[in-house]
Chains A and B, each alone.
Chain A
Amino acid sequence: MKDLIQKLVESWGPSGYEDRVRELIRAEIADVVDEWRVDALGNLIAVRKPIRPGGMRVMLAAHMDEIGVMATYVDEKGFIRFTNIGGVYPLNLRGGRVQFRDGRVGVINREEKAEGDPTLAQMFIDVGAASREDCPVRVGDPAVFLRDFVDLGPRLVAKALDDRVGCAILIEVMKQLQDTPHEVVGVFTVQEEVGLRGATTSAFGVEPDLALAIDVTATGDTPEARKRPMKLGAGPAIKVKDRGMLAHPKVKDRLIETAERLGIPYQLEVLELGSTDAASIQTSRAGVPTGCVSIPTRYLHSPSEMVDYEDVTNTVRLILGFLREPIDLG
């Protein structure tokens, strides 16, 4: 599964421009699913029909997009000013590299005279152009962090683990799913990082009976971190709440029961900030019982996010276990 994760994280796909990631995923799953489609906004929707009766339509969502930047201006000397696509922290940018769609690389730096906390307005991208006319980048061109995947053995480091690791897990679930009473609809969503937009429209289209988002969550296990109960290596995080949603209690309990039954380590997630596609799915149409399984991740929204590989494989096991039997929400 590490190869799959590497392929996904090294792919290029800021919010709104997920086509390459989508093509990669489509090629992975096209042969194992019963049908797939791409909707108006670009969500990839893959369906596995139930093997036996007694189930419901379960939507599993992982988002394909990653945070990035977009060129807002090219000055006379050929330097590019930019804005954020999703939650980009200025502190993570200086000295970093970004890559545009055509492969061109730029380095980010900051106005030398600028003082105080860094802001995006003080920063610029240098693609080595000598002048505005010489600059190949146009206003409106998006770019993402450029950073290799690194396998540290038990842990993995990469850009865009948020949420390509969730995509990898969902791909594995769609592939390994054997005995289930449920119609499992795997949705690889677009534009999560800019406001859960793809999940909003795909949930309307899929109209599920139950949904789970698969996404990353912040941890509190680094030096002088903010207090957060989640940590790497303690298993998948079963969401209780975040800023945007309260997990459906029966869905949450069912995930806990599944983990305990199968002997899968798990942790409960209470996140004060942030949210996931689950928040918009939950309020789609007349409402959808929704939960979320999170992969604890350090250094979120930086070019070097870190996950524990066993947490990843255990998340696949947890979701497969969850889907094995009929689910009673009564």
Chain B
Amino acid sequence: MDTWALLKQLSEAPGVSGDEGAVRAILKEAIAPYVDEIRVDALGNLIAVQRATVEDPLRVMVEAHMDEVGLMVIRADKDGYLQFQKVGGIDDRILPAKAVRVGKDAIPGVIGIKPIHLLGSAERKKVLGVDDLRIDIGASSREEAERLVKRGDRAVFDTTFADLGPRVKGKAFDDRAGCTVLAALLAAGPYPVELHAVFAVQEEIGLRGARVAAYGIDPDLAIALEGTVADDLLKEKDESPTTELGKGPALTAMDRSVIVDPRLLRFLIQTAEQAGIPYQIKQPGVGGTDAGRIHLVREGVPSAVVAVPCRYIHGPVSLLDKQDMDWTIQLMEAALKRISPDVLAR
């Protein structure tokens, strides 16, 4: 499997929460040769099973979410501009003057803003929110706009993937990086565990897809794969970078949604150290992931989170280090080969 080609394809596909069809179609095709069963559940989660190489295996759910943050069209103004809302966590400051693609037909548009020539000094300091902004698709009347775009259509940032040598840039690495890792794991399988691969919907608006997927699967343990915050730019104080590029996969000890099972955290650390794979512990207390819902399903599911550090997530362009992603795949492969019920012994 060409992971970089897959990441490019996934990154450039639109998949705002609740509208993950394009991403799901790419993934379905990519993993079909490697899995024994494949299905799409009621909420749209893509769930694949890869049978184990042993009898009576652990049932392990590995999950990554397909959806990305984005925009939703609310209505067209009489002049043809599109009012919109945010879907998921987006910083208002990054919206103005961005190119976007709207709806199934990927209609090009731009989030309009007055040019600097016309701005007074007070206006330049003001942060514009979604209520102040419109998407301009070049239409000059409501009727013209509505021929191209419907209320409820999603818009994504119009970003081209690029290979920067040791690093790559593109949109939605949160969590298309995780999706790519999971697809690569399936391609490298099978393992001595029954692998339930879940490409989940609606993470960005409240961890919704993974919860129902986990309920349906009822696994023995779960690992969520993420593209997580790297905050390794220059800082005034000597303080945590959350995660750093080039230092290997980020393991979560605790975030706002989950305290990672200490047995699984220890196991992942041991696996990395034995295999000589660099790793880092993500700054505890930051963010939340699908593991936050998965671990509370039914009678409880011991859960962990493994992430590829990504700069500038939830913005138009994110950036990751190729080696971090390779190491994340290697760590997860090693973990799936090594894991046994003993890991969960108390």
Q: Could you tell me which A residues sit within 8 Å of B by CB distance?
A: 15-17, 19, 38-43, 70-73, 75-77, 81, 83-85, 138-140, 142, 191, 194, 197-198, 200-202, 204-205
Contact B285 A204 (CB under 8 A): no
Q: Are B240 and A70 in contact (CB under 8 A)?
A: no
> 8 new A-B pairs (CB below 8 Å) besides A17-B262, A72-B284, A140-B284?
A16-B261, A43-B300, A75-B239, A83-B283, A83-B285, A139-B281, A139-B284, A140-B254
Q: Mark B286-304, 1 if CB is under 8 A from A, else 0.
A: 0000000001111111100
How many Å from the CB of B68 to the closest CB on chain A?
26
Given contacts A139-B281, A139-B283, contact A81 B240 (CB under 8 A): yes
B243 to chain A, nearest CB (A): 11
Verify A41–B302 contact, CB threshold 8 A: yes
B281 with A16: CB separation less than 8 A: no
Task: Point out the residues of chain B lying under 8 angstroms from A85, CB to CB.
Answer: 254, 259
> How far in angstroms is the closest Cβ of chain A from B86?
25
Instruction: Report yes or no: B302 in contact with A70, Cβ–Cβ below 8 A.
Output: no
**Interface pair A194/B281, CB less than 8 Å apart:** no
Is A201 within 8 A of B285, CB to CB?
A: no
List the A side residues contacting B253 at CB < 8 Å: 70, 139-140
> B295 to A41, Cβ gap below 8 A?
yes
Q: Tell me the complex Cα distance, A16–B252, Å.
A: 13
B298 partner residues in chain A, CB cutoff 8 A:
201, 204-205
CB–CB A200/B262 < 8 A? no
Q: Which residues of B contact A81 (CB under 8 A)?
A: 239-240
Contacts A16-B259, A72-B240, A72-B284; A40 near B302 (Cβ below 8 A): yes
Q: In the complex, what's the smallest C-beta–C-beta distance from A208 to chain B, in angstroms?
A: 14
Complex CA distance for A191 and B284, rounded to whole angstroms: 16
Q: How many residues of B contact A (CB 8 A)?
A: 25
Q: Is the interface of B mostly helix, strand, loop or mixed?
A: loop
Minimal Cβ-Cβ distance residue in B for A73: B240
Q: What B residues does A139 contact at CB under 8 A?
A: 240, 253, 281, 283-284
Q: How long is the Cα–Cα vector from A191 to B251 in the complex, in angstroms?
A: 20
Could you say which of A38, A83, A204 has the most chain B C-beta atoms within 10 Å of its C-beta?
Answer: A83
A-B contact pairs, 23 of them (CB 8 A): A16-B260, A16-B262, A40-B299, A40-B344, A41-B261, A70-B254, A70-B284, A71-B284, A75-B239, A76-B238, A81-B240, A83-B254, A83-B285, A85-B259, A139-B281, A139-B284, A140-B254, A198-B300, A201-B296, A201-B298, A202-B300, A204-B299, A204-B300
On whether the beta carbons of B285 and A72 are closer than 8 Å, the reply is yes
Given contacts A40-B300, A139-B253, A204-B299, contact A75 B238 (CB under 8 A): yes
Q: Find chain A residues with CB under 8 A from B239 CB.
A: 73, 75, 81
CA distance A70 to B253 in the complex (A): 9
Chain B, residues 261-289, CB within 8 Å of chain A (1/0): the string is: 11001000000000000000101110000
